Amino acid sequence: MEKQISVVIPNYNGEVTIDKCLEAAFASTYKNFEVVVVDDASDDRSVDIIKQYPCKLLSLDKRSGTSKARNTGAKNCSGEIVFFIDSDCLLQKDTLTIVNETMSALAPDYIVGGTYAQVAYDDTFFNTFQAVWIHYSETRKVTDPDYIAAHAMIMFKKTFEESRGFPEDFMPIIEDVEYTHRLKRSGIKLMMNPDIQVRHIFGFTLSGSLRNAYRKTAYWTLYSLHNRDLFSDSGCASAEFKTNVALYAVIIFLVLISALLQNYILIWLIPVIIIGNAFLSRKLIRVFLKAKGKVFAFFAFLYYALLYPLPVGLGTAAGMMKYITGK
C-alpha cells in the first residue's frame, strides 16, 4: 500500500539548487506524495523558482532559521510519513518507494535515516570526498545510530506531532542531532537504511571544504561539551575519525619537536603513523576505492589523514574556547 509521503524542504536563498531539488522530487516513480517547501524569508529568486512546481509553498515573514522552517512544514503537511530533506539534496527516482517500503514495515516509534549517495551531484574531488566520507560515517551503524541527519530523515507524522519539533532557539547547525538525541531519550528508536539516498550539491573547493570542517567541528564540540559526550562514537564524529585527528596531532608534534631540537630522527616515525592510520581506516579506504577507483582513493586518504584534520583540530579548539568563555 502506498502511504502518502510529505517531502518537507526548508529553503533560504536556494536559487542555485532548489530548481534541481524540486525537479528531482517530481521525477519520482512513486506517486502518492506531496512536496512542502517552507521559504525562510529569502531575498533571492528561489521563491519564483519554487512557484514553477506543483508544491505547497509556505513563506515565513522573517528569517527564523532552518528548525522553524522544518517545524512549519511538518505541521502543515498532509502525509502520514514526513520525509525531511534539504534544498540542496536530490531524491533518486526510487527513493520514495524505498521510504514507503521501509516505513510500512516499522512501528510508529521509529525514525529512519537515509544518507548521501557516494558520488556527489557536482562530482569534483572535494565534493565526492565529502559525500563518500559522510555516507560511510552515517552508515557504519545501521541499528541504533547515535543520531539521524535531517538531509534524509523520515518519521511518521504522529511521531513528529508528539515531539516538540526541532529546537528553534539553538545553534545555526546540528539541530537535527539535538532533536534525535532528545527523541531517543524519550524512547524513540533510530535506524539507518543505506538504500535511502539523496545526491547532495556541495559546491566545495579546497577552501570551502576546509571552512566547512572548521565550522561544523566548532559547533559539534560546543554541543558535545554541553551534552557530555565529546568522546562518544557518533556518526561523522566517530571514534575512528577522532583517532585520525589524534594521529595527525602526533605528526605535527613530531615535526615541531624535531625542528626545535634540530634532530630529525623522530621524523622517521611519521610514515609508520601514516601506515598505521591507513590500516585503521581500511574500511573507509575501501569505500573511497569503490566510489571512484584507486587514484581517487589514494588522494582522498591523503587529504583525510594529512590536511582535513587541521581545520577539525582548530574547530575543536574554537568550540572548547567558546564553551569555557561562554561567548
pLDDT-based confidence at residue 326 (cuts at 50, 70, 90): confident
Residues in contact with 269: Cβ distance below 8 Å, sequence separation at least 6, in sequence order: 254
> How far apart are the C-alpha atoms of 235 and 216, rounded to whole Å?
13
pLDDT tens readout for residues 238-281: 999 999 999 999 999 999 999 998 888 889 999 999 999 999 99
* CB neighbours of residue 169 within 10 Å: 8
For 15-32, letters b (16+ CB in 10 Å) and e give bebbbbbbebbeebebee
What the block records as the C-alpha cell of 37 is 517547501
Work out the pLDDT band at 225, boundaries 50, 70, 90. very high
For the segment 138-147, the average pLDDT, to the nearest whole number, is 95
On the CB side of 3, CA atoms within 13 Å amount to 22
Output the pLDDT for position 78: 97
Mention every residue, 6+ apart, whose C-beta is less than 8 A from residue 304: 129, 133, 244, 281, 284
Instruction: Using a pLDDT cut of 90, give the percent of the chain over it.
Output: 96
**Can you tell me the distance from the alpha carbon of 151 to that of 216, in angstroms, rounded to the nearest whole number?**
15
Phi first, then psi: give them for residue 152, nearest 5 degrees: -165, 80
Q: What is the mean pLDDT of the chain?
A: 96
- Domains, the chain, with CATH or none: 5-204 (3.90.550.10), 239-325 (no CATH)
pLDDT of 327 higher than 80: no
Answer for the pair 149, 235: CB distance below 8 angstroms, yes or no. Answer: yes
pLDDT at 262: 87
Q: Quick check: 151 and 66 in contact, CB under 8 A?
A: no
> What is the 3-state composition of the chain as percent helix, strand, coil, each rounded to the nearest 5?
50, 15, 35
Return the pLDDT at 187. 96
pLDDT in tens, 86-96: 999 999 999 99
Residue of 144, 140, 103 lying closest to 1 (CA atoms): 103
Residues near 278 by beta carbon (within 8 Å), at least 6 away in sequence: 285, 301, 305
CA distances from 318 to 37, 143, 207, 222, 307 (A): 34, 32, 18, 9, 18
Sorting pLDDT into bands at 50, 70 and 90, what band is 43?
A: very high
| Sheet bearing 33-39, strands edge to edge | 56-59, 33-39, 5-11, 81-84, 153-156, 110-116, 189-200, 89-91
Q: What global pTM score does this model have?
A: 0.95
